[in-house]
Amino acid sequence: MGLVIIETLLYALRIYEWIVIGAIIFSWLYAFNVVNNSNQFVSMLGNFFYKATEPLLRPIRRFIPNMGGIDISPIILFIGIFFVRSIIVRVLAPAII
């Protein structure tokens, strides 16, 4: 039972990584006016990405200095997710098995 929970956590982290990648790509497309800003689907997609990623990216942005328009907070988030995944695999999984 515990192994199923660990696998579910790892899958959830992997899905969240893809959501962050999608938010990054969407922000580039939005910034360079590749997508239509007035399209309802584009607006809903942007709102989803904002609500899904901003709660974890906002605290990171508070601590990193302004890089002149370059946002490195997703990279720091990916590093954090990597460490969380490593802790799950190396500490929690052996304790349950």
Please count the structural domains in the chain.
1
pTM, entire model = 0.91
Q: Which long-range contacts (CB under 8 A, 24 or more apart) does 22-30 make?
A: 22/49, 23/49, 23/50, 23/52, 23/53, 23/74, 24/74
Per-residue pLDDT tens for 39-63?
A: 999 999 999 999 999 999 999 999 9
pLDDT at position 66 is: 81
pLDDT at position 46 is: 96
Residue 92 burial by Cβ neighbours in a 10 Å radius (0-12, 13-18, 19+): middle
C-alpha separations of 7 from 12, 53, 59, 66, 95 in Å: 9, 22, 27, 37, 14
Is the predicted pLDDT of residue 97 greater than 80, yes or no?
no
Quote the domain boundaries for residue 63.
2-96
